Amino acid sequence: MDLLGQYLINGLMLGTIYALVAVGFTLFFGVLDVIKFSHGDVLMVGAFTGFTAASAAGALGFSHPLAQLAATVVFALAGTALLGAAVAKWLILPLKNAPRLNILLATLMLGTALRESVRLFYPDGSNPKAFPSLLPTSAWQFGNFTLRADSAILVVTGIAVIVGLHLLINRTRLGLAIRAVAQDEETARTMGINYTLIVLVTFALGSGIAAVAGVMDGLYYNEINFGMGLLLGLIGFSAAIIGGLGNLYGAILGGFLFAALQMVGAVAMPFASAYKDVFAFAVVIALMAWKPTGLIPERSSDRV
């Protein structure tokens, strides 16, 4: 039972990270019907931006972990939100009427450019960076089960971000405008909604959430590297697909499901650390073959 509890906490931790990444793919697809394959590398940029902010805060004399954590989150969010809006304005929107393959290739090449730029131009960017430990290192003991304070804080934070996004989308005028644009762009324009602004805000929102996932990943593993967005982006996209691309709650479900599959693979298979991802992706392939529209497919309607 103690081991089960440890796997459960690990699964919740990873699930929140994957869900946050998957939500970005769903937001982009829901608003513009595009797949932004640079999303994982935007996450990586957010993690490096947060790492740089924490290092700068320490160098300027802000040695308290809370001050460094605040700088990490604020600059990571702001930097990736601006990057996401810039990508939407100067890359996605100009290609809006082009074949979908063009956007897919453009974002794929953008991700490579971001990744290689960090590797080449960030100081010693080709080597992993030790992400600072900014959260409490205390732990609670329940029998043989140990609950780390930093893991609990990260899980609660991730769930809070998901709940906040739910409230934003469903309880605010901005969320109403995003849902209107996602449902029918032409009617939304007719009703006076600033289409371009909503697209920019949506891409900024999705990219900012990816930055939170990147910072959480760095805090959890105490390490970041220029290639971290490759696997996280692929897992986030897979989670969005199996949950139902275009459905916010499907993306969240898919993120936690993928983490659960990894935990099952880690427990049930030999050499777990090597094969848990293989097991998870194999099950995802089977789920896609069984239910191509995802577990919670996006609702659509035909205009007549």
List beta partners, residue 141: 146
> Quick one: pLDDT at residue 2?
62
Indicate the pairing of strand 145-148 with strand 139-142: antiparallel
> Quick one: pLDDT at residue 304?
37
Stated pTM of the model: 0.93
Q: If DSSP codes are grouped into helix, strand and coil, which group holds residue 224?
A: strand
**Measured between alpha carbons, how far is 115 from 90 in angstroms, rounded to an integer?**
19
pLDDT tens digits for range 56-104: 999 998 888 999 999 999 999 999 999 999 999 999 999 988 888 899 9
- Mean pLDDT, the chain, as a whole number? 90
Q: How confident is the model at residue 155 (pLDDT cuts 50, 70, 90)?
A: very high
pLDDT tens digits for range 227-237: 999 999 999 99
> Quick one: pLDDT at residue 43?
97
> Quick one: pLDDT at residue 241?
93
Q: What is the mean pLDDT of residues 4-29?
A: 90
Q: Tally Cβ neighbours within 10 Å of residue 54.
A: 26
**Measured between alpha carbons, how far is 146 from 38 in angstroms, rounded to an integer?**
37
Distances (CA, A) of 172 to 28, 32, 165, 167, 244: 19, 20, 10, 7, 24
Phi, psi of 192, rounded to the nearest 5 degrees = 95, 10
Q: What is the mean pLDDT of residues 40-63?
A: 94
Burial tier of 141 (Cβ tally within 10 Å: 0-12, 13-18, 19+): exposed
- Range from 168-172, 209-213, 287-291, 297-301 carrying the lowest mean pLDDT: 297-301
**Measured between alpha carbons, how far is 39 from 114 in angstroms, rounded to an integer?**
10
Is pLDDT of 301 > 50?
no
> Quick one: pLDDT at residue 303?
40
Domain boundaries, the chain: 13-125+148-229
Is pLDDT of 274 > 80?
no
**Measured between alpha carbons, how far is 265 from 278 in angstroms, rounded to an integer?**
8
Q: Which residues, 6+ apart, have CB-to-CB distance to 9 below 8 Å?
A: 147, 151, 152, 155
**Measured between alpha carbons, how far is 62 from 134 in angstroms, rounded to an integer?**
12
**Measured between alpha carbons, how far is 299 from 119 in angstroms, rounded to an integer?**
41
**Measured between alpha carbons, how far is 228 from 164 in angstroms, rounded to an integer?**
26
Place of tokens 């191509």: 292
Q: Tally Cβ neighbours within 10 Å of residue 253.
A: 21
Contact 30, 278 (CB under 8 A): no
> Quick one: pLDDT at residue 268?
74
> Quick one: pLDDT at residue 302?
40
Cα-based angle 206, 207, 209 (whole degrees, multiple of 5): 65
Q: What is the mean pLDDT of residues 15-35?
A: 93
Q: What is the mean pLDDT of residues 163-177?
A: 94
- Range from 10-19, 141-150, 174-183 carrying the lowest mean pLDDT: 141-150
Q: Which residues, 6+ apart, have CB-to-CB distance to 59 below 8 Å?
A: none
> Quick one: pLDDT at residue 236?
95
Q: What is the mean pLDDT of residues 260-289?
A: 82
pLDDT tens digits for range 114-150: 999 999 999 999 999 999 999 988 888 777 777 788 8
